[in-house]
Every structure is written in C-alpha cells, then in structure tokens.
C-alpha cells in the first residue's frame, strides 16, 4: 500500500519561523508587518525575511489596508490565500460519519453526513471515502479524520471503543483510497486545538474544553499551549467522580462524569424513571417537549456539570470554559445556573468564570478534523 506523505504547503525547506508566520496569519487573519512582528516577537526585518517565501509561493498575499490613513506611507496587510486550498474533515462516531469541506482558514463551505454500514474497517473506510467525495469535485490539499479514542502519530487508531478498533492505520488506508494525504487525531484533542487556534472560548491563553455527547471529554489550554495533546485518549476526565453515591458506569466507577453528563448516561437514567429504554435521540426530544422526568434528569446533569467545571477551575486554575459537543446545547437554558454554581463553589475565587457554549454539534467536530489537516499542512508533519 502506498502511503502518501504528510501535506506541506509551506515548503519542506522552510525554517520554523516561516511556518510560525503562516500559523499566525491563519489564526488572526490579515495583519500588517508591525502587527506580525509584535505578535511573534520578531523584528520588522525578520518578518519581511520570513514572509517573503509565503508571498513568493502564493500561499500568502499582500494588499493595501482599506482602513489606513491616506496620509503617510501606505500600509499593506499580509494574509493567507485562503480560497486556494480546500480541506475536508470527518468525524466518525459509532454509527455515523460527519464531513465538512473548508477553506484554508477552516470556514465551512459544505457539510454532509451518512450512516455507517457497520464497524468493519473496510466498510467504514469505503463509506467515509464516498462521503468525502460527495463534498464536491475540488481537489483537496488534505483530509483530517477524528475518532473518540487513542491515536498514534496522526495515523494509527490505537483504540476506538465506539468502533471496536485496535491498531488500525486508518490514515494510510484512507489516503490510498482518496489519493490525498490524511491525518487522524483524537476528537477532543482536535477540538481543543481548533479552539486554541481560533479563540473559540473567547480567551486565547487559558481555558478548558468540556465536551458532551456520546461520551464526555476534557481539553486544557494554559499559557496558550495545549496540555496533554501528545497523549490523546486518556479518558479526558470522563471517569472523575462527581457523586460517589451515584450510579456506576460501564467500568464500575460510581457517579463519574460519564454517567452524569453524557447523553447516553442521561438517557439511561431518564429511561429508568419512565420505566422503558429510550431510543436514540428520544431523550433530547423529550427535554425539548418539557417531559418532567427528562427535565429532572437534565437538572441533575447540570448540577453535576457545575461540580466538574468547579473541579477543573480549582485544579487547572482557569476561568474560561468552552462547552462543546453534540449534547452541549441541552445545557444552554441552564447555563446561568451552572455558571453561578461554579462561581459559588470556588468561594468567589472564580468570580469571573465564563462558560461559552459551542452549538455547532457534529459539524463542529468535523470542522475540528479539517483544522487538524490544515495545521498539519502548515507544519509539514
């Protein structure tokens, strides 16, 4: 099987500083040379030297600043040629695949989804390849794929519980089928990385990401650096105890975050109150309809989530939180009470705690996968 090299749109012979300039433009958008120099801690001469290869290759473009004063020397802005590259991102769950087409800055152009035919690697690979092709005929610079589980070296899915996979080099297999470079990442790691890059949490340097969906996850950024990104799939706080008197998860952990906050956990508890198991998606529909039992379960989950965020605030010393994942919107009506409890539990020390809800759902997961491919293309690895 032919393994395609990692994408590199900057140029393999370029120094790290050139890639740093490209990454800064990716995150911030158009910047003047003085702004780039200030952000990167470089001299104006260095910025000119490191931006020149990007401009010559066409990866970056220069244009006049429309807001600059007409008096004095003209001010030019440098930006990436975001429309010259297309990327695809795909999030694979236990039952479906969700894909997006983006430009170089991760702006979603089109999204598609499909049910999986099963968990066989060949079947999933074929379905994902067809899904990505359905995004359009434009050639892709790279494809990013994310799963819930452990991933090694951007290629091998070491362990994916929702799929039952172990040691699958999915990047190589999908790249061979698509004839396009593919990178694979843990879903929460990729989501946290995208949030750090584009400031989705409203706080660029210190914040935590909590994901709620089929499972729960935790990501952390401190001092602008992502913590633990090299060790994905370490359960990400899913089994931290929130109430020792609570029900046990499938691993036997009493009252852990997975039981209290995940959508399946909430659905199971609601089913117990209603005297019947709930179908997939039924819990969410009943919450919207105002069902008493489901509303009570969500209220308990909101209190448990507040306890979890309080623990993170105290231990990681962060005040900003991004609540994401396909189940995040369930907590939107209760975000005020969750925020108040986080602040109260911290004894006033986290009085400035702010929780932002990312309601992009599965499209957000898929976009994060595309951003993983974009970052790989700029890093060249």
Q: What is the pLDDT of residues 317-374, one digit of tens each?
A: 898 999 999 999 999 999 999 999 998 876 655 567 899 999 999 999 999 999 999 9
Q: What mean pLDDT value characterizes the chain?
A: 90
pTM attached to this predicted model: 0.91
Residues 356, 320 contacting (CB under 8 angstroms): yes
Q: Say if residue 74 is in the same domain as residue 49.
A: yes
Q: What is the domain range of residue 120?
A: 85-191+364-379
Q: What is the pLDDT of residue 1?
A: 31
Q: Say if residue 97 is in the same domain as residue 170.
A: yes
User: Per mean pLDDT, which range of 74-78, 101-105, 267-271, 327-331 is the poorest?
Assistant: 74-78
The count of domains in the chain is 3
User: Per mean pLDDT, which range of 86-90, 100-104, 115-119, 316-320 is the poorest?
Assistant: 316-320
pLDDT at 2 over 50: no
pLDDT digits (tens, 9 = 90+) for 347-362: 655 567 899 999 999 9
CATH at 139: 3.30.420.40
Whole-Å CA distances, 51 to 24, 26, 173, 241, 373: 11, 13, 36, 49, 22
Q: Say if residue 241 is in the same domain as residue 352.
A: yes
Query: Would you list the DSSP string of 115-149?
Result: E-S-S-HHHHHHHHHHHHHTT-SSPPSEEEEEESS
pLDDT at 4 over 70: no
pLDDT at 199 over 80: no
Range 283-291 average pLDDT: 96
Q: Say if residue 372 is in the same domain as residue 326.
A: no
Domain boundary among 48, 83, 118: 83
pLDDT at 381 over 60: no
Q: What is the pLDDT of residue 344?
A: 85
pLDDT at 212 over 60: yes
Neighbours of 63 (CB within 10 A): 10
Task: Tell me if residue 356 falls in helix, strand or coil.
Answer: strand
Q: Say if residue 38 is in the same domain as residue 175.
A: no
- Quick one: tokens of 202? 């409203």
Q: Say if residue 344 is in the same domain as residue 303.
A: yes
Residues whose CB falls within 8 Å of the CB of residue 228, separated by 6 or more in sequence, listed in order: 219, 220, 234
Q: How far is residue 20's CA from residue 24's CA, in Å, rounded to a whole number?
A: 6
Q: Say if residue 351 is in the same domain as residue 207.
A: yes
pLDDT digits (tens, 9 = 90+) for 113-146: 999 999 999 999 999 999 999 999 989 999 999 9
Q: Say if residue 243 is in the same domain as residue 319.
A: yes
Q: Say if residue 51 is in the same domain as residue 135.
A: no
User: Per mean pLDDT, which range of 131-145, 178-192, 217-231 is the poorest?
Assistant: 217-231
């Amino acid at each position: 099987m032919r393994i395609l090299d990692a994408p590199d749109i900057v140029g393999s012979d370029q120094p790290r500083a050139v890639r740093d300039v490209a990454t800064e433009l990716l995150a911030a958008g158009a910047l003047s040379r003085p702004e780039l120099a200030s952000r990167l801690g470089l001299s104006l001469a260095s910025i000119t030297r490191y931006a020149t290869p990007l401009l010559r290759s066409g990866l970056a473009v220069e244009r006049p600043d429309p807001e600059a004063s007409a008096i004095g020397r003209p001010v030019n802005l440098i930006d990436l040629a975001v429309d010259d590259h297309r990327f695809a991102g795909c999030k694979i769950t236990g039952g479906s695949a969700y894909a997006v087409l983006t430009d170089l800055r991760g702006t979603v152009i089109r999204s598609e989804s499909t049910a999986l035919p099963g968990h066989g690697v060949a079947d999933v690979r074929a379905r994902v390849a067809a899904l990505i092709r359905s995004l359009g005929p434009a050639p892709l610079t790279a494809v990013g794929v994310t799963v819930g589980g452990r991933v090694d070296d951007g290629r091998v899915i070491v362990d994916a519980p929702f799929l039952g996979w172990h040691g699958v080099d999915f990047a190589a297999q999908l790249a061979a089928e698509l004839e396009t470079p593919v990178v694979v990442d843990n879903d929460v790691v990729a989501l946290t990385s995208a949030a750090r890059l584009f400031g989705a949490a409203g706080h660029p340097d210190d914040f935590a990401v909590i994901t709620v969906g089929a499972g729960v996850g935790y990501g952390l950024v401190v001092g602008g650096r992502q913590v633990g990104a090299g060790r994905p799939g370490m359960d990400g706080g899913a089994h931290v105890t929130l109430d020792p008197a609570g029900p046990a998860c499938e691993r036997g952990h009493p009252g852990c975050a997975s039981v209290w906050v995940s959508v399946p956990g909430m659905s199971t508890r609601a089913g117990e109150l209603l005297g019947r198991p709930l179908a997939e998606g039924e819990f969410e529909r009943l919450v919207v309809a105002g069902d008493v039992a489901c509303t009570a379960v969500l209220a308990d989950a909101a209190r448990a989530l507040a306890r979890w965020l309080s623990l993170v605030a105290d231990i990681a010393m962060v005040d900003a939180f991004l609540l994401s994942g396909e189940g995040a919107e369930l907590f939107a009506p209760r975000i005020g009470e969750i925020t108040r409890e986080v602040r109260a539990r911290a004894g006033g020390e986290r009085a400035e705690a702010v929780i932002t809800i990312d309601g992009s759902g599965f499209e957000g997961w898929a976009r994060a996968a595309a951003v993983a491919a974009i970052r790989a293309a700029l890093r060249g690895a």
